[in-house]
């Protein structure tokens, strides 16, 4: 395993989910998720420290909008199930978080709340004769 990451390093990474090459944030804060597909990896205990050896894929499951912070993405680790909240980087000049991806995630969540159908029965509506 290569260990060359200095403490607090702000580095780009390659997304394991969609393969996008992601540049570091221009404002110097730590980029922890892919701006294209919003996926991330469970590598941090604290943001940027890469001290977690879970390495699971963090799937974006919801997006919140807070007036002060802007968009906040809720990630759930597909391996250990931990949920994390990460502020979206929608104001980055180089590669901001994809607004459509955020909106799609937000509306997916809303739709899921609106119709409390169990997953798997999507699309076709079954009517049971009584």
Whether the Cβ atoms of residue 5 and residue 24 lie closer than 8 Å to each other: no
- Least Å distance between CB 29 and Zn ion? 19
Judged by CB under 5 A, the stretch of 6-14, 33-41, 66-74, 117-125 that binds Zn ion is: 33-41
60: its two tokens: 């974006």
Q: Which is nearer to Zn ion, 83 or 91 (CB)?
A: 83
CA 96 to each of CA 65, 69, 101: distance values in angstroms, whole numbers, following the listed order = 16, 15, 11
Half-sphere exposure of 35 (CA within 13 A, CB side): 20
Q: Pick from 26, 54, 64, 74 the residue near Zn ion by CB under 5 A.
A: 54
Q: Which residues bind Zn ion (CB under 5 A)?
A: 15, 17-18, 20, 34, 36-37, 42, 54, 56, 77, 79-80
């Amino acid at each position: 395993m290569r260990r060359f990451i200095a403490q607090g390093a702000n580095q780009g990474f390659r997304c394991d989910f969609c393969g996008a090459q992601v540049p570091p944030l221009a404002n110097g804060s730590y980029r922890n998720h892919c701006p294209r597909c919003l996926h991330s990896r469970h590598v941090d205990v604290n943001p940027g420290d890469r001290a977690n050896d879970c390495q699971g894929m963090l799937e974006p499951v919801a997006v919140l909008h807070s007036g002060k912070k802007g968009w906040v993405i809720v990630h759930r680790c597909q391996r250990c199930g931990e949920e994390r909240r990460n502020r979206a980087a929608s104001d980055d000049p180089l590669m901001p978080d994809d607004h459509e991806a955020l909106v799609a995630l937000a509306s997916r969540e809303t739709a899921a709340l609106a119709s409390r159908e169990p997953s798997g029965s999507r699309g076709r509506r079954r009517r049971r004769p009584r």
